[in-house]
Structure 1
Amino acid sequence: MKHEQNRRPKIAGLFGGAAVCFFLIAIGGSIPAWGAQRHVAPSHPNATDSGEGGAAHPYRSISYAMSRIQPGDTLYIAAGLYREAIIFPKRDWSSQKPTMVAGVGEVSILGTDIVKGWRKLERGFFIRENWTNEPQQVVLNGHLLKQFGGTIFNGYPLRKGHDMADLHRSEGGIWPRRLTGGIKSMPLHSFYYDKERQAILIRTDASSLENDMVEVAVRPYLVQGERVAGITIQNIAFRYSTTSTISRQGAVTLMGCKNVLKNITVQDADGAGIEIEGDDNEIRHSIVTRSGYLGIKARGKNVTIIANHVTFNNVRGFNKWWEAGGMKFIGGGGLRQSRVNGNEVTHNYGDGIWFDWGNERNQISRNTVAYNTGFGIHYEASSEAFIVDNRVFGNRQRGIYLPHSRNSLVARNMVLANGLEGITAIDEHRQDNEGNLDLRPRNNRIVRNIVAWNKGLAVILPGAEYGNTSDQNIYISDDGNPKFSMGWPNAGSGRKNINEWRGREKQDERSQTFKLAMSKEVRNALAHEKLGFDWSILKPYQAYVNRTYQEVDSSADLLTK
């Protein structure tokens, strides 16, 4: 697998010291109001794009308000639908002067404009000419049209010499589900951008578009802030974008430190939904769904990603081995000393939660990671993960997967009914050509997990020489005979049963195996991809593992190295 950890600038180079981050100490536990309170309310009778934007004379537009906002201000956006973006101007943003942009009521920001002037070509085909910038999304009467052809990231896959041209070439590149062919092969309800003619072509079964609403994505960013600090954005819904024409960033992107995204919704972004880069940032209680290739991406230290719903992402069919699915954290140091806790990451077309290349000392806890088409939790080429108290089930590949990772703890997770192995730590014989990372999978611990009904082996470890440990686990299967392997089993190292695993490898000596058929209720819930089904069949085993292994009873003990 080819990675791009060195293709993007490091965090320090991005910020250059312009965003000033300090820990704010507020007397009495409250945050002082440093600046003005500004308002956007287009329907207000006194609304005008001038002045200070007070409640009695609010601004008409978000764009004007953002041109006036200063560090420490609070901007309230009245309920309504806006075809604008929240773009932070260059200021001396500082966490010493917290700045807030908040929706009041139901606030929706769209990346599309309504477009008229469609000319009929022949039955089913309509054209809109004089369109200079390639859009990634066209919406007809509230429904996204399929994209036919198209290029992303400044010309991929058509531009010769593109720096991503060779990535995953044998697997169809990074965008294998891109629709191609002659114009006549355009499917019904699709659009195509003709760069030579600078025109958008639509194919539909309508006889006319005069009475239809056609929207075209024109805004690459719905939120953009570079070198920002102390920014909070909350209570706003964002929809549609055309980010991937020029950038791999998120439709909602903040780069800086001590920024917070809270109670926001990002849906139908064309590329990534949310991207945050920098230290001490937070994403809380938000929804990211139906993004083009990825829900959330982040880099930085002491980042908090908590209690979010990340579902049904990668709708454009990008290669899951590249950067597609629910969440991915990669390169430039990745995430460090951060928390990914209490999230619901489900039904993504790719991995659920994926850390890749140089992440370290992260806590992945109390997440529900289910029904993703790739791996559930994937901690790759990284170190010191604390993967604790997660429910990982119904994913089509491995439940919890640690290739080339070291010094990590996998404990108290419920890992069941995944399409491949339950828990795997493995050596795939990769090397870091620059010599920065130790990719030997050493000293990982797999303890006190419940591993049940996975289609592959229960546990795979990389080899006796690496010092990994699996013990104090509960293994449940229809026949009571879980399988194990030291290294990939096709290398002749598979173990037939737990007794052989114990005898030859000295693993799982205090673990327990149980013969238990999956109940009809659980089977039905898994078949219908339900999340909140009855876990009572496993409660006795959870109680058993808690009662039996008292020496690692507390989280503090579990997380002690």
Structure 2
Amino acid sequence: MLCLKKGVHRAQAVRPRARQHFHGEGETVLNGSLLLERFTREERYWVARSQLQRVAQHGECLPSAPACNHPQAVFMDDKPMTRVPSKDALATGEFYVDYASGRIFLVDDPTVHKVEVTIAGFAFESSAADVLIDNLTVEKYGSRAQKGAIHAREGLRWVIENCVAQLNSGAGISVGTGTRVRGCDVHHNGQIGIEGEGKDILIDGNRIWSNNIYGFDPEWEAGGVKIAISNGVTFRGNRVTDNNGVGLWCDIECRNVLFEDNFVENNLYSGIFHEISFNAVIRRNVVRHNGRGRGWFWYADILVAASEGVEVTGNTVTIEPGGCGIMLIDQGRRSEKGATYKTRNNTIHANEMTFEGAPCAGGASDTKRGEENFSIISTGNNQFDGNTYRVRGTSGPTRFVWGRDVTDWAGFRRRGLERNGRLLLDESPEGLPPKPGTESMPSR
């Protein structure tokens, strides 16, 4: 075991060997930055010399944050400053890097503040097997998007326990085959909290919150956790809140996935998202107030899109006004080999949904007439049954959707759905009076 002493250790980059154990003795911080201490005044700017070199940009940014994918960052009193593309645009809380002259520009007076600049790209990275990292804080590393400051993606059977990963530019932690992430606090990372791919991955008992602080596009990849192209993934007992993107997400050919006993709240996109994938169980999660960053039926707390063989059961879901509870969505998406993903053989049962506005749930098709998947929602053995829909009040029309038809509770049941389900108004067994008729659903 390698014991790392209490204190701040700057710009350390470690390539572990097989079976090494890195243990922090307490209040041990690996910090990927250096202090900037010598500033001079030039007109309205404060200027410091730096050794920063241009690095390749990776990842897609929101229009409001065009420099999100520059991994080099500056911090003032532990708060990230915003990078701007030109010196003339500088305002308070911002910085500009002039690579040609090797200088960093601020307008805020740095003389009474701690100013740091990222210099190291990772804290731990290697292809070694059976590495254990515990009881450490890893912060302010210039990891690029889709790469963790603790980067286990190419390793085997890494265990990361009781760690803090914060203020890193890309991902806090990247996982690979056999990785276990347990009891960690993963927050305020630039792109995402945890990402990766592989087999037999466990993400258990972590706090994952307030990630994507630099404004990556959540539809590309950003937020709490995203695992892709993986088999045997378990998300268990995590508290996932306030991320600027999806809370928990498995995407692209994920198989044998379990989302279990998580608390998922106030994420900008869906709380739990299983996309273009297979074979998952989503059970006993508490999911609240997620999805407001998207429109149409994508505004959902639990979302299964272009996937098959998913069971959603025993979840407690609270839906804010304008949102949907549990949704299936089919887009007719194709794999890289040209096959069409099918939204089929999905079972949604025994869930408790409480709506703070009008109820919204079901299965929506975003395909056109004549396309292969046009009727897959209704013909693909998808089932909603035995769910409870509690309505505290209404703020718009009831939206139960099946295929391309938006209907009311009675219309939903006429389609063979929710034969054992309940729609309750303010705990009353009489439920809401059905609204007559149906309407055609517009495309998103």
Alpha-carbon distance change, 130 to 302 in structure 1, aligned in 2, over 3 angstroms: closer
| 1:24-52 superposed Cα distances (whole Å, 9 cap, x missing partner) | xxxxxxxxxxxxxxxxxxxxxxxxxxxxx
Q: Using the alignment, how far apart are the partners of 2:187 and 2:50 within structure 1?
A: 32
Structure 1 residue 268: Cα displacement: 0.7
Name 2:89's counterpart in structure 1: 185
Name 2:14's counterpart in structure 1: 87
Which deviates the most, 410-419 or 307-316? 410-419
User: Could you tell me which of 438, 441, 447 is aligned with 2:349?
Assistant: 447
SS in 2 for 1:192: strand
Structure 1 residue 478: Cα displacement: 2.9
Name 1:389's counterpart in structure 2: 284
1:207-286 equivalence runs, <5 A: 209-210=110-111, 212-224=113-125, 226-244=126-144, 248-254=146-152, 255-277=154-176, 279-286=177-184
Structure 1 residue 454: Cα displacement: 5.6
Structure 1 residue 459: Cα displacement: 1.9
Preserved contact between residue 377 and residue 399 of structure 1 (Cα < 8 Å): yes
Alpha-carbon distance change, 128 to 86 in structure 1, aligned in 2, over 3 angstroms: closer
Identity %: 25
Name 2:5's counterpart in structure 1: 78
Structure 1 residue 260: Cα displacement: 0.2
User: Runs of 5+ in structure 2 lacking a partner?
Assistant: 55-70, 293-298, 365-376, 429-444
1:31-46 equivalence runs, <5 A: none
Preserved contact between residue 350 and residue 372 of structure 1 (Cα < 8 Å): yes
Alpha-carbon distance change, 377 to 430 in structure 1, aligned in 2, over 3 angstroms: same
The code of the aligned residue for 1:234 comes to: D
Name 1:476's counterpart in structure 2: 390
Preserved contact between residue 314 and residue 350 of structure 1 (Cα < 8 Å): yes
Q: Using the alignment, how far apart are the partners of 2:324 and 2:283 within structure 1?
A: 18
**Structure with the higher strand share, 1 or 2:** 2
Preserved contact between residue 295 and residue 327 of structure 1 (Cα < 8 Å): yes
SS in 1 for 2:169: coil
Structure 1 residue 385: Cα displacement: 0.8
Name 1:60's counterpart in structure 2: none
Name 2:274's counterpart in structure 1: 379
Q: Using the alignment, how far apart are the partners of 1:230 and 1:88 within structure 2?
A: 13
Q: Using the alignment, how far apart are the partners of 1:381 and 1:201 within structure 2?
A: 45
Preserved contact between residue 357 and residue 392 of structure 2 (Cα < 8 Å): no
2:22 equivalent to 1:110: no
Q: Using the alignment, how far apart are the partners of 1:406 and 1:351 within structure 2?
A: 20
| 1:319-364 superposed Cα distances (whole Å, 9 cap, x missing partner) | 110101111112xxx2211211100110001111111111011000
The code of the aligned residue for 2:251 comes to: D
Alpha-carbon distance change, 328 to 317 in structure 1, aligned in 2, over 3 angstroms: same
Name 1:301's counterpart in structure 2: 199
Q: Using the alignment, how far apart are the partners of 1:444 and 1:370 within structure 2?
A: 24
Name 1:426's counterpart in structure 2: 329
Q: Using the alignment, how far apart are the partners of 1:299 and 1:361 within structure 2?
A: 13
User: Could you tell me which of 51, 57, 62 is aligned with 1:131?
Assistant: 51
Name 2:105's counterpart in structure 1: 201
Alpha-carbon distance change, 286 to 377 in structure 1, aligned in 2, over 3 angstroms: same
**Structure with the higher helix share, 1 or 2:** 1
Name 1:64's counterpart in structure 2: none
The code of the aligned residue for 1:202 comes to: L
Preserved contact between residue 87 and residue 105 of structure 2 (Cα < 8 Å): no
Preserved contact between residue 364 and residue 386 of structure 1 (Cα < 8 Å): yes
Structure 1 residue 85: Cα displacement: 2.5
1:475-514 equivalence runs, <5 A: 475-478=389-392, 483-487=399-403, 491=404, 493-497=405-409, 499-503=410-414, 505-514=415-424
Preserved contact between residue 137 and residue 216 of structure 1 (Cα < 8 Å): yes
Two-structure CA RMSD over aligned residues (Å)? 2.0
Name 2:440's counterpart in structure 1: none
| 1:135-178 superposed Cα distances (whole Å, 9 cap, x missing partner) | 621122333222213xxxxxxxxxxxxxxxxxxxxxxxxxxxxx
Name 2:239's counterpart in structure 1: 344
Q: Give the TM-score of the pair, scaled to structure 1.
A: 0.66
Q: Using the alignment, how far apart are the partners of 2:225 and 2:50 within structure 1?
A: 37
SS in 1 for 2:2: strand
Structure 1 residue 441: Cα displacement: 0.5
Structure 1 residue 127: Cα displacement: 1.6
Preserved contact between residue 422 and residue 456 of structure 1 (Cα < 8 Å): no
The code of the aligned residue for 2:161 comes to: K
SS in 2 for 1:303: strand
Structure 1 residue 210: Cα displacement: 4.5
Aligned residues: 389
Alpha-carbon distance change, 376 to 210 in structure 1, aligned in 2, over 3 angstroms: closer
User: Could you tell me which of 285, 290, 293 is aligned with 2:188?
Assistant: 290
Q: Using the alignment, how far apart are the partners of 2:198 and 2:164 within structure 1?
A: 22
2:274 equivalent to 1:360: no
Q: Using the alignment, how far apart are the partners of 1:362 and 1:241 within structure 2?
A: 30
Alpha-carbon distance change, 183 to 516 in structure 1, aligned in 2, over 3 angstroms: same
Preserved contact between residue 311 and residue 347 of structure 2 (Cα < 8 Å): yes
Q: Using the alignment, how far apart are the partners of 1:388 and 1:452 within structure 2?
A: 16
Alpha-carbon distance change, 454 to 384 in structure 1, aligned in 2, over 3 angstroms: farther
Structure 1 residue 252: Cα displacement: 1.3
Q: Using the alignment, how far apart are the partners of 2:406 and 2:384 within structure 1?
A: 15
Q: Using the alignment, how far apart are the partners of 1:239 and 1:335 within structure 2?
A: 27
Preserved contact between residue 398 and residue 407 of structure 2 (Cα < 8 Å): no
User: Runs of 5+ in structure 1 lacking a partner?
Assistant: 1-73, 150-181, 519-561
